[in-house]
């Protein structure tokens, strides 16, 4: 039925039995895409289609169209996006809205027109209103104004969710959306200016340890609560959703575990092995007091995260030492 918005007419459970089916992972070099590729390979999938940005510009409609026409993948996981922190969003708002809308529109439309069976679109927790209830349920979408600093990116991602829903209603096409919480893990961005809180802390503690510094000063009081999910857990959830979920509504993907920034900093300090003092600069702003996603819908489907924060931080620091520090030397 064209008006069926439940997705109940869609068949689930066939993804894991089609290990030789062609799967296009868009954005396979990023934090998320690279983890999805690792998970699919570990799970025995043998026919992954991967393209670098220089091989396929996803913002170019005719290039995307000819790619789908030639390759005809059976499944698509859309992890490609232009991402960045507050400074980047403030400086390049046109890029954040235009590039993301172009990527999504081109990939989703070409996937549909060339017979892709199922598509998973990935967004971010920033789609939710600035003052959403905590923990944030999927139903909070479009119930209030967005955080102004990243609304350009958020609007594009909301449009992606709505595009998947629209194609499901009009074309009975199996397009689903997953919205991850704050992610971390190997292939994260450790850049000194524009990295997120967790890799930024890791880098600073490592540099302080290497330089025998007496203390590390961190902005704020350390009291805000945050949620972190290891990217390997997200990849596991993506494979689970491809196999088990065919619903209309987007699905939150979180760890369900809250940690204060203070607890996080202490844990990173311990993992890195920095012996000095941790000092909090309370003259600096704290940001949102609490940000947690309600992932009970995903849990009710039967998925739970497996990587503890401590283990995930250890693995991430090992990767940082091997791939960021050693390459500098």
What whole-number distance in Å separates Cα of residue 85 and Cα of residue 193? 9
Peptide bond just before 210 cis, omega within 30 deg: no
What whole-number distance in Å separates Cα of residue 105 and Cα of residue 119? 13
3-state secondary structure of 2: coil
CA 189, 192, 196, 197 torsion-angle sign: positive
CA 40, 46, 47, 49 torsion-angle sign: positive
3-state secondary structure of 184: strand
Whether 31 and 187 have beta carbons less than 8 Å apart is answered as: yes
Say which residue the tokens 């993301």 belong to. 100
* Phi, psi (degrees; rounded to nearest 5) at 121: -100, 130
List 128, 153, 167, 184, catalytic entry: 153
- 153 noted as active-site residue: yes
CB atoms within 10 A of CB 148: 11
What whole-number distance in Å separates Cα of residue 77 and Cα of residue 175? 10
3-state secondary structure of 215: strand
What whole-number distance in Å separates Cα of residue 248 and Cα of residue 126? 20
Give the catalytic positions in this structure: 153
């Amino acid at each position: 039925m064209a008006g069926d918005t439940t997705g109940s007419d869609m068949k689930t459970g066939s993804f894991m039995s089609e290990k030789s089916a062609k799967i296009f992972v868009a954005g396979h070099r990023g934090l998320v895409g690279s983890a999805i590729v690792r998970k699919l390979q570990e799970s025995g999938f043998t026919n992954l289609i991967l393209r670098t940005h220089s091989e396929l510009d996803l913002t170019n409609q005719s290039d995307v169209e000819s790619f789908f026409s030639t390759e005809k993948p059976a499944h698509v996981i859309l992890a490609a996006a232009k991402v960045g922190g507050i400074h980047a969003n403030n400086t390049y708002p046109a890029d954040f809205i235009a590039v993301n809308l172009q990527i999504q529109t081109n990939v989703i439309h070409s996937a549909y027109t060339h017979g892709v069976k199922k598509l998973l679109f990935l967004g971010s927790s920033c789609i939710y209103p600035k003052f959403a209830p905590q923990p944030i349920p999927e139903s909070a979408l479009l119930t209030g104004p967005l955080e102004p600093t990243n609304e350009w990116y958020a609007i594009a991602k909301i449009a992606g969710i709505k595009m998947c829903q629209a194609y499901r209603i009009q074309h009975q096409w199996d397009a689903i959306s997953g919205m991850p919480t704050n992610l971390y893990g190997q292939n994260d961005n450790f850049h000194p200016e524009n990295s997120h809180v967790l890799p930024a802390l890791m880098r600073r503690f490592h540099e302080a340890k290497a330089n025998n510094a007496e203390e590390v000063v961190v902005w704020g009081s350390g009291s805000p609560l945050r949620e972190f999910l290891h990217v390997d857990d997200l990849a596991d959830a993506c494979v689970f959703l491809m196999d088990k979920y065919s619903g209309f509504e987007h699905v939150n993907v979180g760890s369900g575990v809250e940690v204060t920034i203070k607890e996080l900093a202490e844990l990173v300090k311990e993992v890195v092995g920095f012996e000095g003092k941790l000092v909090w600069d309370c003259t600096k702003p704290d940001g949102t007091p609490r940000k947690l996603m309600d992932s009970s819908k995903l849990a009710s489907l039967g998925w739970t995260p497996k990587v503890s924060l401590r283990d995930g931080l250890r693995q991430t620091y090992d990767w940082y030492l091997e791939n960021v520090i050693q390459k500098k030397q």
